[in-house]
Amino acid sequence: MSLRDVSARPQQYLQSLSRWHPLEIAFWLATLLPFVLFPSYLSLASQIAITALFALSLDLILGYAGVVSLGHAAFFGIGAYAAGLFSKFVWGEPFSGLLVGAVLAGIFGYASSFIISRFRHLTLIMLTLGLGLLAFEVANSAHWLTGGSDGLQGVSILPLFGMFKFDLYGYTAYGYALAALFLVFLGARRLINSTFGLALRGIRENWTRMPAIGADSRAHIRKVYTIAAAIAGLSGALLAQTTESVSLESISFQRSADVLVMLVLGGAGRLYGGLVGAAIFMIARDQFSGIAPQFWYFWIGILLVTVVLVLPNGILGGLSKLWARWRGE
């Protein structure tokens, strides 16, 4: 049955858009492969999962609502420092640390969303950049609290469920990060397939029309920005916990720029774009930096230019176009 059939009931049609595709199931099964195939790369795998979660949070605001941010690492860093400090001074239990990181980043996200939601385009890019730089300098200068450029030392995380220690090989870390990624992904998937997700796409597709249909775009943006900030904070907290340290890099401009690059590489505005982009970026960095550590951005530069020129909707956008063409013939 074709979905374009006139007879297809509108409700069933909309429901069918959120049905799980076999490729999605294959994707998530494949994320389990590192446990058996690459046990020596589990630390990298857990970093990829964490970065993928971070990229997913950016996708919610950029890919869906069209809010470009060059300072998204602020929330990642807030989550990382919050979780690190929480474990150091309060309690080393991992889940409560995650919650603290996510909630604190969400609060900062909500506060800044009142400014963010009023602007578009270049102003917005500059605002997010400025706020990101502010966050970086605050973390840098609060040496007594964050350790400044030396990084936050003394983070110590209790075993997961009181049973699984965060081992050197990264079994626990990857399992933990992957579970977090999957659960948040489920939530993000639900959000995208809700009326709210539709409203976000409406904002992206036509900002001018939204008020004319009675929609309060700013309220929508405040909401999604807060959610994205909380998810970014959660991913930062994951990094702090799995590496048992927080470096200034976690709140740097470089991280904001990197995550944007990953999302564009993978394909913004599709849930798997950030995930695929993060995997490609992190694996490329791992491989290239083995060859020439100083120059690996050269290759990322080439990759980025090529993808943007050849595949404007990212790697996944290109693949889905190929797929559609193949099926059409």
Partner 1 sequence: MNAPALSTFGLSKSFGSLAVAREIELSLPSGARYALIGPNGAGKTTLINLMTGMLAPNAGRIMLGEENITALEPQARVRRGLARTFQINTLFPGLNALEAVTLVVAERRGIAGAFWQNIAVHKETIEEAYEILAKLRLGDDCYQPTRELPYGRQRLLEIALALATKPKVLLLDEPAAGVPQEESGEIFEVVASLSDDLTLLFIEHDMHVVFRFATHIIVLVGGAIFAQGSPAEIAADPGVREVYLGKRHHG
Q: Name the minimum Å distance from CB 19 to partner 1.
A: 10
Q: Which of 1, 36, 122, 212 binds partner 1 (CB under 8 A)?
A: 212
Owner of token pair 């270049």: 122
Stretch 78-137 residues interacting with partner 1 (CB under 8 A): none
Which positions from 152 through 211 interact with partner 1, judged by CB under 8 A? 190-191, 193-199, 201-202, 204-206, 208-211
Nearest-approach distance from CB 3 to partner 1, in angstroms: 6
Amino acid identity at 205: E
Query: Which of 216, 295, 298, 308 contacts partner 1 by CB under 8 A?
Result: 216
Closest CA to 46 of 38, 186, 2: 38
| Part of the chain binding partner 1 (CB under 8 A), chosen from 9-17, 82-90, 254-262, 284-292 | 9-17
Report d(CA 214, CA 199) in Å as an integer.
Answer: 11
Q: How far is CA 329 from the centre of its chain?
A: 36
Q: Is 316 in the site for partner 1 (CB under 8 A)?
A: no
Torsion-angle region of 214 (φ positive above 0: left; ψ -120 to 50: alpha; else: beta): left
> In a 3-state reduction of DSSP, which class is residue 246?
strand
Distances (CA, A) of 219 to 114, 182, 206, 227, 261: 9, 27, 16, 13, 28
Binding to partner 1 (CB under 8 A) within 17-36 occurs at 18
Contact 202, 86 (CB under 8 A): no
Taking the complex as a whole, the smallest distance from the CB of residue 211 to partner 1 amounts, in Å, to 4
Residue type, 241: Q
H or E, element range at 173: helix 171-192
Q: Which element (helix H / strand E) includes 56?
A: helix 42-59
How far apart are CB 104 and partner 1 at their closest, in Å? Answer: 21
Stretch touching partner 1 by CB under 8 A, among 21-29, 44-52, 129-137, 216-224: 216-224
Helical segments of 244-313, H only: 253-266, 273-291, 296-310
Q: Minimum Å distance from CB 202 to partner 1? A: 5
Stretch that binds partner 1, among 4-12, 71-79, 112-120, 248-256 (CB under 8 A): 4-12
Helix (H, G, I), strand (E, B), or coil: what is residue 164?
strand
- The CB-side HSE value for 217 (13 A sphere, CA atoms) comes to 24
The interface with partner 1 within residues 219-238 (CB under 8 A) comprises 219-220, 223, 227
Question: In whole angstroms, how close is the CB of 220 to partner 1 at the nearest point?
Answer: 7
Shortest Cβ 238–partner 1 spacing (Å) = 22
Size of the site for partner 1 (CB under 8 A): 38
| Contacting positions for partner 1 (CB under 8 A) | 3-4, 6, 8, 10-15, 18, 190-191, 193-199, 201-202, 204-206, 208-216, 219-220, 223, 227
